[in-house]
Structure 1
Amino acid sequence: MAQLQVLFPIFIASDDFLKRAYISVINDLASDQRVHRVALLLQQEGFEVHCIGRRLPGSPDVKIAPGIKLRRYRMLFRRGPLFYACFNLRLFCSLMSCRKPFLFVANDLDTLLATSLAAGIRGTALVYDSHELFTRVPELLERPLQRNIWSRLEACLLPRVKTAITVSSSIATLYRKRYGVPFAVVRNLPLQRVPKPDRSIREGYAARYLLIYQGALNVGRGIELMIDMMPFLDDAMLLLAGVGDIEKALRKRVTEKGLSGRVVFLGRLEPEELHRYTSSADLGFSLEEDRGLSYRYALPNKLFDYIQAGIPVLCSALPEMKAVVEGYKVGRTTTERSPLALAGMVSEMLTMADEGRWKEALEKAARELCWERESHYYLALLREAGLLKREK
């Protein structure tokens, strides 16, 4: 075999020269687009990529790209301490038994324990990718015991991380001040896309305007406000694309307000279908409440999905979102939480959209706010860490 490799080095590759990257995330691998993009990026750089995550009941089969291997755990527990403990135990066992790893990538604090332990034992390089300020998410604000546990875990693990990434400058600054760890900023930007409005989608709804929210139906996202606003908007429908913890309560709210014909729950959509729906809408919402530092410093991926779909954005005037929307002039930001006042802003924005006043700014933003550009920062970090060869 060794002689054949000398004679035919192009055709026969030794396992010793394969760079294997193992990307772990606690989310369902079918829906985590950032993991998909990073997996493709690493594959393009010559890595053999393995993605490890969860498979929720009813989740579709998924294939990121030929050659990218997936391992999806079906979990007996779906939330709570036993869920996190069981997931991390399975993840640790997978990483300890995987073959000749070159790089581990841990996405968010809930995979960092297992990944950092395995990396330390096996002497494998570790990259930590924090998608949010985990210990300050709204779900933990009123649960001091759980928040304290996660905070202690973070304080124990983060100072030992050498290569770290997060999604906004504000979060990077906070982590650097708190733990002395430099975080590179790689925003959660989508691939550049051409808007694909679908006439059949618009014809399927008896309204002149379609308003859309895409993302998790969770607490603090301002979805209740969107629903309460609808009675003040004539000839408009609200599409909610996603699933989440408060979906049942939202459906009840819609029924009680007599809005069943004007608020539509689309459920979880495949990325291509979601893009068609968003491109067919007239305006996108990102009205996160200022419920803790995680939301205050958030830079949601849906903001950029709206831009790639060519529709203006109405978002909360939180610092990171405000900088993008006002900097690129692709919509409006607001601190308003009155349904009536918000409906007035929406009406004004829809009129401006009819006049084509957002079009040029959205096109410019779509060209600049895309993964094709942002991924260079990810690669630069890997080169700085010695995980990729430096460009000549």
Structure 2
Amino acid sequence: MASDLAPSKGRVLMLSNDRQIDRRILLQADSLQAAGWQVTILAMPLDHPDASADPRVVRIGTRVGGLGGKASRVLEGYRLLRRWLPMNGYAMRQLKALAWRFLVEPERFYLRLFLADGRRYPAQVVVAHDLPMLAVGRALACEFSAALVYDSHELYSEQEFSRREQRRWARIEGKHVQACDRVITVNPSIAGELRGRYGLAQVEVIYNAERLPEHMPASNYLHERFAIPGGHRVLLFQGGLSAGRNLPALIRAMARVRPDIHLVLLGEGQLGNALQRLVKRLGVQRQVHFHPAVAQQALLPITASADAGIIPYQGICLNNRLCTPNKLFEFIATGLPILASDLPELNRLVAGNGIGLVARLATPEQMARAIDELLFDPERLQAWRERLLEVRKALCWQREGQRLVQIYEGLR
């Protein structure tokens, strides 16, 4: 963090349409603040106040009088639904999909929600974190005579939306992206897509890297937590237990692997109960274990206690096909060899750096063969671990954060 006595290089207003602030945003805020910028993060409201919240984060609708008007009614209705329906449950997901498809015009919706609150935080740089915030960011940057940065966390318009929604989001992106002073994204493949689609001269890549721990002591946490015998191997999946991540196939694969291999699913989500039922139905309770989600600051020591990590995503949409999820860099930071699906960026970073195995993971049979292969050869596992000692120094937030600060310095 920057010293209180450090001179300010200016104010940065970051916009996020999430409640839980993404690690990428917080790390960027840390790096900019350490370099002398003053950072405010404006985000969606919480259902209940959080006394331990990051002081840089402010929530829309918290000023006297609240949001007011139609935006207030929409948000209040959404909060009421959240009390009765699980956030990631099937019914809530269907209601949200119908609302976005037929009732909500997204550009106007987010302008109504964010614009009035955003005006309270004049800045020299406005950052739209992901596409829903781009129109808001442009409007505020215009009012402040500020630089506009668009940080595209993914290929947003190419998610598993209907074709109508994909076209609508693409139109919004095309309408505003040329007004940006800098465009940043998470990997070279998505950077290439953005350049080609919108005729952009340059799109900067800042990886979703994790901050490299100063010291990561050896730990048997997962073995001890689930009473796993010492000689058995632990394969770790961490992140949301949600659709589109090929998790049912991963569970089914565990019925086909050697009995000394265990899978830990660390996270929560709408598939959690269904996956636990599948584990019981297949009779693999001794090999498949569920760990609740943990706070980001507690995650890496747990991650480090596994033997390897798995990313079984499938290219079911272009966004998934080109993904580089947070867990990839969390595995790298903690020195875990990785089993990843044969997708372009995962192939480039895992196979290209010699830190794990890339394979076709579409079916349980393919996945079981790959898991056995990954964990079968102790010498190869050790070679991957040794290679990770070097790779983690190159793919860490300490380096990405420096590059981010240089981009902002170029805006002055």
TM bracket (short chain): 0.7 to 0.9
TM-score normalised to structure 1 length: 0.85
Deviates more, 1:349-358 or 1:159-168: 349-358
Residues 240-319 of structure 1 aligned to structure 2 (within 5 Å): 240-319=265-344
Using the TM superposition, give the Cα deviation of residue 196 of structure 1 relative to its aligned residue in structure 2, in angstroms: 4.0
- Measure the CA separation in 1 of the matches of 2:308 and 2:6: 53
Confirm or deny that 1:110 pairs with 2:135: no
- Does the Cα contact within 8 Å between 1:190 and 1:371 map onto a contact in 2? yes
Counterparts in 2 of 1:60 and 1:218: CA distance versus 1, 3 Å: farther
Q: In the alignment, what sits opposite 1:205?
A: 226
Q: Which AA in structure 1 matches 2:14?
A: I
Using the TM superposition, give the Cα deviation of residue 350 of structure 1 relative to its aligned residue in structure 2, in angstroms: 1.6
- Does the Cα contact within 8 Å between 1:197 and 1:277 map onto a contact in 2? no
Using the TM superposition, give the Cα deviation of residue 341 of structure 1 relative to its aligned residue in structure 2, in angstroms: 3.2
Q: In the alignment, what sits opposite 1:362?
A: 388
Q: Which AA in structure 1 matches 2:142?
A: G
Counterparts in 2 of 1:12 and 1:239: CA distance versus 1, 3 Å: closer
Confirm or deny that 1:119 pairs with 2:138: no
Q: Deviations 1:9-32 (Å, cap 9, x if unpaired)? A: x9898xxx76111111122345x1
Confirm or deny that 1:25 pairs with 2:47: no
- Measure the CA separation in 2 of the matches of 1:12 and 1:299: 35
Q: Which runs of 5+ in 2 are unaligned?
A: 62-74, 83-95
Using the TM superposition, give the Cα deviation of residue 248 of structure 1 relative to its aligned residue in structure 2, in angstroms: 4.0
Q: Deviations 1:287-329 (Å, cap 9, x if unpaired)? A: 1111122112111221111111121100011111111111211
- Measure the CA separation in 2 of the matches of 1:59 and 1:263: 35
- Measure the CA separation in 2 of the matches of 1:34 and 1:94: 23
Q: In the alignment, what sits opposite 2:56?
A: 69
Using the TM superposition, give the Cα deviation of residue 187 of structure 1 relative to its aligned residue in structure 2, in angstroms: 0.9
Q: In the alignment, what sits opposite 1:190?
A: 210
Q: In the alignment, what sits opposite 2:120?
A: 97
Using the TM superposition, give the Cα deviation of residue 124 of structure 1 relative to its aligned residue in structure 2, in angstroms: 1.7
Helix, strand or coil for the counterpart of 1:217?
coil
Give the alignment partner of residue 137 of structure 1, picking from 150, 154, 159: 159
- Measure the CA separation in 1 of the matches of 2:5 and 2:349: 48
- Measure the CA separation in 2 of the matches of 1:259 and 1:58: 38
- Does the Cα contact within 8 Å between 1:240 and 1:266 map onto a contact in 2? yes
Identity %: 27
- Measure the CA separation in 2 of the matches of 1:11 and 1:162: 29
Q: Which AA in structure 1 matches 2:17?
A: I
- Does the Cα contact within 8 Å between 1:313 and 1:325 map onto a contact in 2? yes
Q: In the alignment, what sits opposite 1:174?
A: 193
Deviates more, 1:214-223 or 1:305-314: 214-223
Confirm or deny that 1:323 pairs with 2:335: no
Helix, strand or coil for the counterpart of 2:16?
strand
- Measure the CA separation in 1 of the matches of 2:391 and 2:345: 15
Helix, strand or coil for the counterpart of 2:227?
coil
Helix, strand or coil for the counterpart of 1:39?
helix
Helix, strand or coil for the counterpart of 2:119?
helix
Counterparts in 2 of 1:89 and 1:197: CA distance versus 1, 3 Å: farther
Q: In the alignment, what sits opposite 1:165?
A: 184
Q: Deviations 1:115-138 (Å, cap 9, x if unpaired)? A: 211212332211110010001112
Deviates more, 1:259-268 or 1:342-351: 259-268
Confirm or deny that 1:150 pairs with 2:155: no
Aligned residues: 366
Give the alignment partner of residue 49 of structure 1, picking from 29, 33, 39: 39
Q: Deviations 1:251-293 (Å, cap 9, x if unpaired)? A: 3433433344433332321123221221111111111111122
Confirm or deny that 1:231 pairs with 2:255: yes
Q: Which runs of 5+ in 1 are unaligned?
A: 1-9, 388-392
